[in-house]
Structure 1
């Protein structure tokens, strides 16, 4: 009961952080950062070392050289503030993955810690460590932003939330009660079973990876939630259209091992979670951005100037129609390490972003699903479903026309039937398996 009241208080309190003026939001970030960075530097030896080696004061945190997931994992024992060795955290998290029992936590002098693993799509499997206080605050934010509007009237209605996920944590059990019920549907189970369970759940809110939700829809799942929430994968236009036609209105959440990064506003647009996370960006070719985050609340596993591998396209122009001052994401493009590196017609190399390839392939007549992989300097392997003469012809025509418009030079294409990814694997329609420094199919 106490946990539920705490989560509800956090959910109600989220209204204070929905800033309408950019200057007010930035002042709020400054206040949080001043206190948070001092605490983290005093309790995280690795973070203190980063400041010392850079000869920077805590107040100069914006100038701190960023780190990425490999550095975080390599220094995990001295980065986390709970005194937990990575070996112990991995043992508990991996045991939960095998047994499918995600209830175990770790007791520390700082309190109970929830642990888990990322999917490891980048080649480096990440681990997350969340304290009880952070878990309750996180659940409150999710509750406030994801329940179908209007708020708080949605709390007065009976809500049935179905999560189709690879792993279940303690996050949502804290909120479950007579009016708000959560059901975890393990996506490692056979699709027909999941489809039947989803139909029986009659959810008012449905959340899961778009490729999995679409597979459930194709398997005959019958559900009519007030809102569908896309998580864990890039939400592509064809998936959005199919899910909206089959289930209901679709919004998306941008969440990773590194934190809760963006949430949908009442108008359905995806806003950066800037009331709790500070974002810097590194410019990439084509107007895309790579985020560097500083979580202003998370203490058990600090995220200070942490560079993500994601590629984003931020919305241009004025603010959102909802009136919020937080910046809006036009599109989560994918991972930077999945950008293709192809020869140009001028003899140089071109970066081709995943969404450019997806846009071309989605126009190929008769093609239901595909995977495009660069396996050599000038070679793309296209795996198609269905793999027929007509779909090969259509895919080759659309992709070559798109690459020609971009100025890509001679590229060879090969074809094969599309094999299903292992259960629980994030779908990546565009994959980079070759770079000049990592030749011939290294993953």
Structure 2
């Protein structure tokens, strides 16, 4: 069966995974986990070693100490079940990005569980501080495409399949994951983010997509550059989507939804009513409390075979919405993906104790600056914050300084002890994600700070 037919089959099967009680959803996860963990522990030396080191049986997997992206990358060769070497994966993925040819695949090692099977490879953008590699097998790729089709095509699903679907992806890198949905009735256009914005705007207009997918900052730039399209859905990926992005894209292109995806997998998808739900039919989520309604996810992907994700801690910060969704699904709703953990800023409180200032507070402050079109805030030392502004004018500097100092004071920081530095915001390198608030590496050895509202 070819990729497209298999993907449609998985899309149809996805329609049966709509759970209306937590008991039913968790029973489904337990059934998947039972077989999945047995298989993974038998084929991934790294996973088996984690259970042995913790003195736990497979049935105790929820108590397994979490792992991180850095640890995953360090033990990649023993983790993956296709017998792949990280050096080969990185070489192919980086060559693909350099040459802009993403058709290459690796073959599983002869002695592996995926002997001689084609494996798709790729890289994350490294926003969280560690660039991650991903490897995905044929069946995983097909299932991913089917799940995406089911959740992203405008409802009702079967009616959408009756009409030609033109998907336009604006991405840093294209891969086999996206090509899996290609068929006679479902066409795919990859619009390379390394192309100049005017060219991209013209290409998007020519593509006339029914489904438009890309980072919100790029979509807004193309809208401002005169791109014209009226897709049935605009799907924002790869960046934190702010309400200003949603409003502008909704007015300029069409209805906006969001997808939460990372190197670690497909983590949350929109429902027909527009809510963003955790992908709990396929991924088990444990949530670590960070305070003030913020959570850091620890995931166990129950469908990931080639590169297992078992009790893997992410760097993202989530806010959840406990209100039941009108779609009827009990999968938890994401109110906001706040950003990466290393985007939280570390300052001294008035008492001298360390504290965390969440990026939302700084964004809210700078969004109040009259005339400020774009910005980036970079903390380069415990007492130094750079504000890179567009436009970088005396009036915007003055207003930004006032708003940021007020936000620092409200958060409990020693605002008078923070030095503000200013400069113009230069264009980001082509293909990079937008990060408006970031912290440099001075804090990597710092103790865990107090979490503040």
TM-score by length of 2: 0.94
In 2, are the aligned partners of 1:29 and 1:278 still within 8 Å (CA)?
A: yes
Aligned residue for 1:62? Answer: 62
Structure 1 residue corresponding to 2:123, chosen from 87, 107, 117: 117
- CA shift at 1:90, angstroms? 1.1
Matches within 5 A, 1:41-440: 41-108=41-108, 109=110, 110=114, 111-316=117-322, 318-409=323-414, 410=416, 411-433=418-440, 435-437=442-444
CA distances 1:41-84 after superposition (whole Å, capped 9, x unpaired): 00000100000111100110001001001110111111000011
User: 5+ unaligned residues in a row in structure 2: which ranges?
Assistant: 447-453
Matches within 5 A, 1:31-50: 31-50=31-50
- The 1-side partners of 2:163 and 2:365 are apart by 43
- The 1-side partners of 2:233 and 2:212 are apart by 7
- The 2-side partners of 1:404 and 1:306 are apart by 35
- The 2-side partners of 1:341 and 1:278 are apart by 31
CA distances 1:166-191 after superposition (whole Å, capped 9, x unpaired): 11111232222232111000001111
CA distances 1:164-219 after superposition (whole Å, capped 9, x unpaired): 00111112322222321110000011111101000111111100011111111111
- The 2-side partners of 1:122 and 1:314 are apart by 21
Q: The residue matched to 1:163 in structure 2 has which SS?
A: strand
In 1, are the aligned partners of 2:119 and 2:136 still within 8 Å (CA)?
A: yes
- The 1-side partners of 2:304 and 2:444 are apart by 35
In 2, are the aligned partners of 1:341 and 1:435 still within 8 Å (CA)?
A: no
- CA shift at 1:10, angstroms? 0.2
- The 2-side partners of 1:127 and 1:115 are apart by 7
In 1, are the aligned partners of 2:369 and 2:400 still within 8 Å (CA)?
A: yes
- The 2-side partners of 1:433 and 1:172 are apart by 33
- CA shift at 1:435, angstroms? 4.2
Q: Give aligned pairs, total.
A: 438
- The 2-side partners of 1:130 and 1:437 are apart by 31
Q: The residue matched to 2:179 in structure 1 has which SS?
A: coil
Q: The residue matched to 1:35 in structure 2 has which SS?
A: helix
- The 1-side partners of 2:410 and 2:133 are apart by 41
- CA shift at 1:434, angstroms? 5.1
Q: 99-108 or 406-415: which moved more?
A: 406-415
Q: The residue matched to 1:17 in structure 2 has which SS?
A: coil
Q: The residue matched to 1:171 in structure 2 has which SS?
A: helix
- CA shift at 1:134, angstroms? 0.3
- The 1-side partners of 2:443 and 2:167 are apart by 46
- The 2-side partners of 1:435 and 1:123 are apart by 13
- The 2-side partners of 1:387 and 1:336 are apart by 28
What is the RMSD of the two structures over their aligned residues, measured on CA atoms?
A: 1.3
- The 2-side partners of 1:67 and 1:368 are apart by 39
- CA shift at 1:346, angstroms? 2.7
Q: Which stretches of structure 1, 4 residues or more, deviate above 6 A after TM superposition?
A: none
Q: 139-148 or 337-346: which moved more?
A: 337-346
Q: 24-33 or 144-153: which moved more?
A: 144-153
In 1, are the aligned partners of 2:7 and 2:143 still within 8 Å (CA)?
A: yes
